[in-house]
A and B are shown apart, each in its own frame.
Chain A
Amino acid sequence: MKTNKPISVKQTLQNNGVSRRSFMKFCAATASMMALPPGAAKLIAAALEKITRPSVIWLSFQECTGCIESLTRSHSPSIEGLIFDVISLDYQHTLQAAAGESAENARRAAMAENKGEYLLVVDGSIPLKNGGVYSTIAGMSNLEMLKETAKDAAALLCVGSCSAFGGLPNANPNPTGAVAVSDIIKDKPIINVPGCPPIPSVIAGVIVQYLTFGLPELDHLNRPMAFYGQSIHDRCYRRPFYERGQFAESFDDEGARKGWCLYKVGCKGPTTYNACATTKWNNGTSFPIEAGHGCIGCSEPNFWDNGGFYNPLSQTPITDKTNLGVAVAAGVATGVGATLLAKTKQNKTKTPSSNDGENL
């Protein structure tokens, strides 16, 4: 898993039998993932030729392993798979062969060798109640391990809604006092890649984006704009039906069969920022709305507690008490898109919940 000699990313790929044309395919697909113009593939190639394999330490806390499943169960060999050749993954307790003391030693060794330079990836929330006893690794609470490992990291990448916003463990009544990484770590750059789970190529894309161009442009929730800059509703192929006021009223009516807008059956697309509508899932096959189900808003904070997946946004108690839901409902009535309003609210709306945890 580990390398001591600095080898460029391109050299690593070539050593793994990746030809120049394969490398071009890799860079083209990466540019595509990063929502960059296709011509940017050359910039990515040039950047990857220069940089050396960065050390990555991946900590999994209070989580369901769905995020790492999302990344590793994607089509293989794949761009996402190649990420594991591009980076030096020095610690990931689900994937690594080492266990127990030797695993923890590998983490500490990687931290010492790459002090101040390694990327720390976190999935899962951090439970704080009762001294953090609800999730421990090698006798350490998640809080202790996060603080110890984040201390010398260059940046933190929070994969999944749990590490980004608290996620499911943070849902009411939050019995373990789960909080997000950003509630604990205040002195390091944090990139949030939320989703339950995030799209695998988005996880990979953000990693490559960080490696090639440094810290990406982030929105107010620390999400990379390249992937989370537009709402599902903005990019939804069913959007024209919304504009025309054509809605499915239930999942078995004529509107549903005709593929009309799913707003009235609970779609959270207008207030959800993610790349599902273009990148899609299962190797670009489709995404929930294409399969006939509304977006559940899994890349937004507190999505579990936002009033039920099948209630329209107009009936949803918005946690920040803005009039967004009402405005979207007005959009439904008049055929006027509420997206513009949602966009203006994007800078002010929900903040990651931290009030359920104990004081740090």
Chain B
Amino acid sequence: MSNINIPIVEIFDSTLDIKSTALTFTPSLNVEPILHEIQYAVIKLLKSKQSSIIDLNAMPFAPGEKEKIRQELGNGEVEILLNAMGKSLLFETDYPGVWWIEHYNDEEQVTGTYIEIAHIPEIIQAVDEEISAGLQRLTQTLNDRSESYENE
């Protein structure tokens, strides 16, 4: 993951003056529309409890734009590490309810980047099916133990 926001032209030619460099790759065309989309999604979450996901892979970003959005959103209090088919990092941003989500594969390459607007990202929440399966395992473990106590 890189938070470096260096316009590519500087890599090629550091002698270019800053003004022309800035004109080349900024202002970013995608940053503000996405912030507006987030604003709309937050209002929707508050009013109707409906969550939203924005898929950042589907956007034609210029180099550095995605990092710019990440910077604009900042960091909140919560960071979650999920291990499922590679890591996933879920950051609460500076705006509560707005989550920055990065999915990685086992080789730590990004497989998807999303902004989810929700109380808790959906992928984190356990579902009843899993909870029931877990309860069965726990019950079995306790039964096995009580049987072994009885045998002693």
Please tell me which one of the listed residues B58, B62, B111, B123 contacts residue A79 in the complex, with CB atoms under 8 A apart. Answer: B111
Query: Do A29 and B123 touch (CB < 8 A)?
Result: no
Query: Do B57 and A77 touch (CB < 8 A)?
Result: no
CA distance A257 to B114 in the complex (A): 31
A229 within 8 A of B: no
A165 within 8 A of B: no
Query: Do A24 and B123 touch (CB < 8 A)?
Result: yes
Cβ of A330 to closest chain B Cβ, rounded Å: 24
Q: How many residues of B contact A (CB 8 A)?
A: 39
Given A75-B111, A237-B60, A237-B62, 7 more pairs with CB closer than 8 A: A21-B82, A22-B85, A37-B55, A76-B107, A257-B13, A278-B59, A283-B110
Which A residues are in CB contact (< 8 Å) with B129? 20
Cβ of A293 to closest chain B Cβ, rounded Å: 14
CA distance A276 to B111 in the complex (A): 16
* Residues of A bordering B, CB below 8 Å: 18-22, 24-26, 28-29, 31-32, 35, 37-39, 75-79, 235-238, 240, 257-259, 277-279, 283-284, 290
A-B contact pairs, 9 of them (CB 8 A): A18-B85, A19-B84, A21-B84, A25-B111, A32-B57, A38-B54, A75-B107, A76-B107, A77-B105
Which A residues are in CB contact (< 8 Å) with B57? 32, 278-279, 284
Please tell me which one of the listed residues B25, B107, B122 contacts residue A259 in the complex, with CB atoms under 8 A apart. Answer: B25
B1-44 contacts to A (CB < 8 Å)? 8-9, 12-13, 16, 20, 24-25, 29
Given A259-B25, A283-B110, verify A78-B105 contact (CB < 8 Å).
yes
Residue of B nearest to A236 (CB): B60
Query: Do A29 and B84 touch (CB < 8 A)?
Result: no
Which B residues are in CB contact (< 8 Å) with A18? 85
B74 within 8 A of A: no
Residue of B nearest to A234 (CB): B60
Which B residues are in CB contact (< 8 Å) with A24? 122-123
Cβ of A8 to closest chain B Cβ, rounded Å: 15
B63 within 8 A of A: yes
Please tell me which one of the listed residues A32, A39, A240 contacts residue B58 in the complex, with CB atoms under 8 A apart. Answer: A32
Query: Do A32 and B63 touch (CB < 8 A)?
Result: no
Query: Do A29 and B110 touch (CB < 8 A)?
Result: no
Please tell me which one of the listed residues A19, A39, A75, A235 contacts residue B60 in the complex, with CB atoms under 8 A apart. Answer: A235
Which B residues are in CB contact (< 8 Å) with A20? 127, 129-130
Query: Do B9 and A77 touch (CB < 8 A)?
Result: no
Cβ of A315 to closest chain B Cβ, rounded Å: 27
Which A residues are in CB contact (< 8 Å) with B140? none
CA distance A236 to B130 in the complex (A): 43
Which B residues are in CB contact (< 8 Å) with A235? 60
Query: Do B105 and A75 touch (CB < 8 A)?
Result: yes
Query: Do A35 and B109 touch (CB < 8 A)?
Result: no
CA distance A290 to B11 in the complex (A): 14
CA distance A79 to B12 in the complex (A): 34
Query: Do A77 and B53 touch (CB < 8 A)?
Result: no
Which A residues are in CB contact (< 8 Å) with B25? 259
Query: Do B29 and A26 touch (CB < 8 A)?
Result: no
Which B residues are in CB contact (< 8 Å) with A283? 109-111
Given A28-B103, A75-B107, A257-B12, verify A240-B29 contact (CB < 8 Å).
yes
B61 within 8 A of A: yes
Which A residues are in CB contact (< 8 Å) with B8? 259
Cβ of A54 to closest chain B Cβ, rounded Å: 22
Given A38-B54, A77-B85, verify A290-B63 contact (CB < 8 Å).
yes
B77 within 8 A of A: no
Query: Do A284 and B110 touch (CB < 8 A)?
Result: yes
Query: Do A29 and B111 touch (CB < 8 A)?
Result: yes
Which A residues are in CB contact (< 8 Å) with B106? 77
Q: Which 7 A-B pairs have the closest CB atoms?
A: A38-B53, A22-B85, A21-B84, A237-B62, A22-B84, A235-B60, A75-B109
Query: Do B112 and A28 touch (CB < 8 A)?
Result: yes
B88 within 8 A of A: yes
Query: Do A38 and B84 touch (CB < 8 A)?
Result: no
Given A75-B105, A76-B107, A283-B110, verify A258-B88 contact (CB < 8 Å).
no
Residue of B nearest to A38 (CB): B53
CA distance A238 to B114 in the complex (A): 23
Query: Do A25 and B114 touch (CB < 8 A)?
Result: no
